[in-house]
Structures are given as C-alpha cells and as structure tokens.
Structure 1
Amino acid sequence: MRAIILAAGLGLRLQQQPGKQFPKCLLRFDGITLLERHLRMLDAAGVKEVVLALGFAPEQVQAELARLDRPTPVEIVLNPRYDLGSVLTVHTVADALTRGGDVLLMDADVLYDERILNALVAGETTNRLLIDRDFEAGDEPVKLCLRDGVPVELRKQLMADLQYDTIGESVGFFRFREDTARRLAEIVKDYVDSGRANMPHEEAVRDLLLESLQQCSHQFDTADVTGAPWIEIDFPGDVERAATEVLPQLLPTVGVAQ
C-alpha cells in the first residue's frame, strides 16, 4: 500500500502574513507538524511507501523531512504550477498512482485521529471513501451521499433531485485499488489535456465514482468515521478550532512525545 500526500498548495485562505507564508503541512499543534503526524501514523499503520506532492516552498518541507530523519525516505514530486488546481498536482504523481498496489490519496492539511486512518487501511484490497455524518451544512464541505449503502454523489453542491438516504462530509482521504488508481490517473490526464487543470481533484474522484455506478465497476465501499475527531484546515478559524477542539480529543500520536 502506498500513500500519496497532497501538499502543494499555498493556502491563501489562511491569509498568512506576506513573507511568512509556509505550506500548511508545516502547521504545528503541540509542537508537532501535520506532516510529522501523517508520517508517524502511516508508519504505525504499516504504510511505509509515501509520496509527497509539493509545490509552494518545497525547501521548507524538505527541511522538515530532514529534521524527522525518517528511516524510509519519502519520495518527493514537485508541481511547479501549484497555483492551479489540485487536479494538476494529482497528475504530477501519476506514476505513483499507476505503479501497482492499493493507493491512499490524502490531503496534507488535515488534523485527524488515528482511528480515521485505521478505518481507511483496514482489510484487503478495496476502494474506500470515508464519511462523517456529523458535519456542518454549507457550501464548503464536500458531501458524500449514499443510497442503500452505496455512494452515489461526492460534491460540494448537490443536485436538487438527487436521491439518497445518508449524507455526510467526505474526509479528504481516499483509497483505491490498483485498477481504480490507474483509471483515476487517466481521468486526471483528461482534465489536464482538456484545459481543466484548475479543478479540485475531488471532481475527478467524483467522475470515477459516477462511472462506477454506470458500469458496475470500481465499486466503492464506505467507512463511517462519525465521532472520530478531525478537521481540514482552510481558514484562520480552522487553526483555532484544531487547537482548542480537535487536538484535545486525539489519541496520542504514535512515536511522538506528548
């Protein structure tokens, strides 16, 4: 199993002061960067192969990796056009998507409990989405909708006539089987080739999901992580919530002194 961590963006919505901007994966909580937490939990879950997609200020992230001195080196892939959408970043790691085995695709800007990762990696080879039914309604969350336990939609904006019986927020982590990861790489390439490189990568995952419904292939299962603490950090208020609400609920991070 291989983990691809998307950490290329600038994080403009955090409105960091000019000259003091840094990749969001270097945000620290209790003195521990998000990147270190990712790597420690992946190690604990037995995921040793990690590909890190970088763009903005890669030297800062590389310095953090040097400080961590991880026994198994992290493979770094650079997206020089990180100012475009995350679809392009996923396209830059196409080789990591297609070289075989199950693939985890993970946003770097998430503070989360290890129970969420455990739910993602559990069991034999599979395609898996994570759903949190306890979420705040609005335009920002990427919604995951199920009908009879089957995922039928993955998007921020839902069609008015969509039929579903369960709705929640999609955690920014996905698991793909080898064949599904290859198909995702093809879909992402089509996005880039057709001038849609500025799109979020969740749109490509949505296309994959809808294709699976139409063709009865690449079937997805879902893991319900409702109740496990996590937060995606996009805005200044998210940093405060992460520190005051989410962090105190987390299980101790394996391998890190608390």
Structure 2
Amino acid sequence: MRALILAAGRGKRLADSHDHPKCLLEFEGQSLLERHLLILTQLGVQDIAIAVGYKAEQVEQALDTLIFLPRPQTVCNADFNQGSIVSLWTLRDQLRAGGEIFLMDADVLYDYRLGQRLLQSPHRNCFLLDRHLEPGEEPVKLCLRNGVLVEFRKQVPTGLRYDIIGESVGFFRFSEEVAHRLADRCQDYMDQSRHEAPHEEAIRDLLLETPERFGVEDITGLPWIEIDFPEDIHQAQNIILPQLEPLKSSPLS
C-alpha cells in the first residue's frame, strides 16, 4: 500500500490568517502533516509520497524535523496556483508504480478510524461518505442509487435520481489497475490544457465509466473536517479535536 498526499495548494481563503502550507497548520502542537504520517504509520503504510508546491521548503523542513523513516518522498508542483489536477499529475509515476493506493487531501483533521475503515474495506476502490452534509456548493457530494455510486461532484445535476447523498471526505483507495487508469486520465487533462480542473474530476470520470468497480464506506459520526476557511480552524480546534482518539507518538519523531 502506498499513500499519496496532495499538499501543494496555497490555501488562498486562509491567506489573511495563515501564510504557510495548510498541511502545517498545528493543533495541540501537531501539524496536519505530522498527524497524517502518524496515522499512516499506525496503519502500516510506510511508502508515502507528498505533492508539495506553495512554500515547499517549509514542508521539507518539517519532514526533516519529524524524522519519519523511511522519509516520505516529495514531488514538487511548481504550478500550484492551478487546479489540483496538476498536483495529482505530478504523482503519476507513483500512481503507476504498482500496488494499491491511498490518495489523501492534506488539509483534513480526522480520526484514525477513518483511515482504518479505508484500509479494512472490502472495496479495493473506495470512497468515504459522510451523510451529515453541510449545505451549499462547497462540499464535494457523493450520490448513490440502489447502493451504486452515480455522482461525485460539488454540483449535483438537476434531475439526478439518488436515494443517498453525503459528503466525500477526500480520501480514496484505488486498486493498482484503477491507479494506472487515473494516471492516464490525469495525462489526458494535461494534454487537453485542462489545468484548472480539480483532481476530483479525473476520479469522477473513472467512476462514471465503471461504477460497478467502486464502493463506499459510510463513516457518518466519525470526527473530521476539511480546513478551507478561518472558521474551519475554530471548529477543528474546539469541536473536532476533542473527539479524536489519541495517536501514538512516532518512535522516530
């Protein structure tokens, strides 16, 4: 199992209050990046690659300080102001390197049990679904009809029939075959100069091509939050963090 973490973005909506890569936001003395690495280590995942970009040197310095072994590989996306599809494309070699893949957004504070559910899922290609959906266009929605995923997007098409809707956590598990297909699809986006697209669009393409290949784990009730706005930091600190199961300290940190 290999984990790929998308951590290149600038976090423009946090710019007034935070001028560092979002993965370096700290909660009780631990950055989001350190929490990711601790959780992955506890899950037995040690092959880790991180797409960095905005102030990449700060992430490199943090990794030097944390001293996780083997040290996570970093791949730099110099075009971090473009869509996140570019960050995923920079990890194309890692997608094609063989074995199953965890794909993870870096800007999420979450409980260890989310990663555990993804690892233990019987679905080799798996999304995480939270049925507590915040209103508005910001959350990326997952829609199911008769137990089959039928949509994965911020904006759900008018008239789409579904019986379950929820929010995608932004963590995914892919089989070796689907990881290869995803790398190829990212290349298609680059060849078509669709550099502003979110990486979710490439994943959506694969889902809609072969929905029977994908499954979902319902993690409703487990604590997590994606940090996009200043108010998310407050909620993460005061509501989410107290609910998280304690993490074991890394023996090498």
Give the shorter-chain TM-score range.
over 0.9
Q: Does 1:160 align with 2:154?
A: no
Listed one character per residue, the Cα deviations across residues 11-56 of structure 1 (whole Å, up to 9, x for unaligned) are 0111335xx6110000000010000000000000011100010001
Give, in angstroms, the shift of residue 124 of structure 1: 5.8
Give the aligned partner of residue 95 of structure 1: 93
TM-score normalised by structure 2 residue count: 0.96
Gaps of 5+ in 2: none
Matched, 1:238 2:236: no
How far residue 123 of structure 1 moved from its aligned partner, in angstroms, is 4.7
State the Cα RMSD in Å. 1.4
Q: For residues 129 and 121 of structure 2, what CA distance do their matches in structure 1 show? A: 17
Say if 2:123 and 2:215, in contact at 8 Å, map to a contact too: no
The 3-state SS of whatever aligns with 1:245 is helix
- Residue 53 of structure 2 is matched in structure 1 by 55
> Quick one: which amino acid aligns to residue 15 of structure 2?
Q
Contact 1:77 1:93 in 2 (8 A): yes
The answer to whether structure 1 residue 82 and structure 2 residue 76 are counterparts is no
Residue 256 to residue 49, structure 1, CA distance change in 2 (3 Å) = closer
Distance (whole Å) between structure 2 residues aligned to residue 209 and residue 157 of structure 1: 16
Would the aligned equivalents of 2:121 and 2:217 in 1 still touch at CA under 8 Å?
Answer: no
What's the counterpart of residue 14 of structure 1? Answer: 14
State how 1:63-142 maps to structure 2 within 5 Å.
63-123=61-121, 126-142=124-140
Runs of 4+ in 1 over 3 A off after TM superposition: none
Determine if the alignment matches structure 1 residue 226 to structure 2 residue 220: yes
Asked if 2 retains the 8 angstrom alpha-carbon contact of 1:40 and 1:254, the reply is yes
- Bigger shift: 123-132 or 229-238? 123-132
TM superposition shift of 1:251: 0.4
Structure 1 counterpart of 2:71, which letter?
A: P
Identity across aligned pairs (percent)? 51
